[in-house]
A and B are shown apart, each in its own frame.
Chain A
């Protein structure tokens, strides 16, 4: 079945540093790919998505490109802020019921 492998955290960065969180996947067919963010004590919010190869999802300065050749969907941001501190989940479609399959999450802490 489909699966997601996400880099383990925690990741600690200084404000304005460059961020990369790696995500690779295995899938049959052509899944849609997502990044969700979970702020402390809250549920998940969709950050960005891509539905086909070479699509680039972007939102709030975050970007991720659907790379079919490397089966990757790495999350990047050029300059992180303290407010970006959260847990980031990579996910893809492919559950038997139409649900999403999630990576284990990467906790990001940004220090002033």
Chain B
């Protein structure tokens, strides 16, 4: 089945530095990828929709200058947390829309394993 690879799985950085997280679709092309943020004991919050070849669409309340998203190819989207601060510490998860399931017709999202960011 469709696989999404996310890297790094864990990253620790100092306050004020920038961190880049990569999300790759393996064996399929993804024109659209989604970036979620998961807070402890809470659900996933959609941060932005990454569209290949165009600007990302950010959800209300998400700072686009802080969370830079680049979708340079049909298999790669990156999220850069700029000038990270401790409050940015979280679990970030990307997902990609896999090819349409011809059996069920459902648009299934495939998720990466997540990246845990800790800002000291």
Contact of A51 among B44, B106, B111 (CB under 8 A): B106
Assuming the contacts A97-B32, A97-B49, A97-B57, asked whether A46 and B43 have C-beta atoms less than 8 A apart, the reply is no
- How far apart sit A102 and B36, CA to CA, in the bound complex (Å)? 11
Of all chain B residues, which has the CB nearest A55? B104
The reply to whether the CB of B19 lies closer than 8 angstroms to some CB of chain A is no
The reply to whether the CB of B61 lies closer than 8 angstroms to some CB of chain A is no
- How far apart sit A34 and B110, CA to CA, in the bound complex (Å)? 12
- Max count, chain B CB within 10 A of own CB: residue among A34, A98, A99, A105: A99
Q: Is the interface of A mostly helix, strand, loop or mixed?
A: loop
* Size bracket of the B interface: 20 to 34
Of all chain B residues, which has the CB nearest A44? B111
The reply to whether the CB of A77 lies closer than 8 angstroms to some CB of chain B is no
| B108–A49 CB distance below 8 A | yes
The reply to whether the CB of B107 lies closer than 8 angstroms to some CB of chain A is yes
| A42–B107 CB distance below 8 A | no
| CB of A96, distance to nearest CB on chain B (Å) | 8
| CB of B99, distance to nearest CB on chain A (Å) | 13
Of all chain B residues, which has the CB nearest A49? B106
| A102–B107 CB distance below 8 A | no
The reply to whether the CB of A93 lies closer than 8 angstroms to some CB of chain B is yes
The reply to whether the CB of A79 lies closer than 8 angstroms to some CB of chain B is no
The reply to whether the CB of A1 lies closer than 8 angstroms to some CB of chain B is no
The reply to whether the CB of A45 lies closer than 8 angstroms to some CB of chain B is yes
Of all chain A residues, which has the CB nearest B116? A41
Assuming the contacts A98-B107, A99-B49, asked whether A42 and B43 have C-beta atoms less than 8 A apart, the reply is no
- How far apart sit A41 and B40, CA to CA, in the bound complex (Å)? 12
Quick one: which of A73-112 are within 8 Å of B by CB? 89, 93, 95, 97-100, 102-105
The reply to whether the CB of B46 lies closer than 8 angstroms to some CB of chain A is yes
Q: Measuring CB to CB, which residues of chain A are less than 8 angstroms from any residue of chain B?
A: 32, 34, 36, 41-46, 49, 51, 89, 93, 95, 97-100, 102-105
Subset of 7 A-B contacts with CB under 8 Å: A32-B104, A46-B108, A49-B104, A95-B46, A99-B34, A99-B109, A104-B42
Q: Measuring CB to CB, which residues of chain B are less than 8 angstroms from any residue of chain A?
A: 6, 32, 34, 42-44, 46, 49, 57, 93, 95, 97, 104-114, 116
